[in-house]
Amino acid sequence: MEAKLELRDLGTEVAYEAATALQEELHTARVADTRHDILLLLEHSPVYTLGRSAGTANIIYTQEERQQRGIELYQTTRGGDVTYHGPGQLVGYPIIKLSDRGIGVAEYIMELEEAIIATLADFGISGTRDDRNRGVWVGDDKVAAIGIRVSRQVTMHGFALNVNTKLDNYLGIVPCGLTTAGATSMEALLGHAVDMNKVKTSIYAHLKSVLNYT
């Protein structure tokens, strides 16, 4: 099958459960080699998601407080701890076959980080990686989280880049279980709102580059 990365933009206010169901459908098709690799880009409705290593102690807001703020809680199959998704945050779910790319899981995570760092650089932001805590950082603050699942050599879940994210929703959790880390966004770092479509164009181009797609 030709090495290409299809892009599908799902838009905004996408329910987490619906996006998960779509990922599972695409994952099954990719395992069977009945479709190309694909990148889903979207913004979720407000939700806290729990990864496989998440502890409930890292959920600060009570159920009532979450309901008041319109934030759902969802247990997921990705790796990692707890994180927030919501409007203004660009979420990317690459459904790709790692064996076709000739890379393993650790290298794949590093390539995701590299694509995000390159995207930030396009907007004048210097991001870094931390080998102990995956994701992309600006100083001591995390600007992008990464949590994946790999089954039968095909990936699910992916990354969440804070573009114009409402950062006070992070107050309801201990992000990624890291008590000393904060959260930031491109908007907060630049002092103005960022064009989401330009970020989508940038991240798609850089992902194709680092993963060697045509």
Catalytic residues: 176
Question: For residues 17 and 43, is the Cβ–Cβ distance under 8 A?
Answer: no
CA 117/CA 119 separation, integer angstroms: 5
Which pair of tokens denotes residue 35?
């479709």
Question: For residues 162 and 144, is the Cβ–Cβ distance under 8 A?
Answer: yes
* Closest residue by Cα to residue 41 from 115, 126, 109: 115
Q: What angle do CA 163, 142, 40 make, to 5 degrees?
A: 50
* Closest residue by Cα to residue 198 from 166, 164, 157: 164
Sequence-separated (6 or more) residues with CB below 8 Å from residue 138:
120, 125, 126, 127, 128, 184, 189
Helix axes 196-210, 105-122, angle to 10 degrees: 140
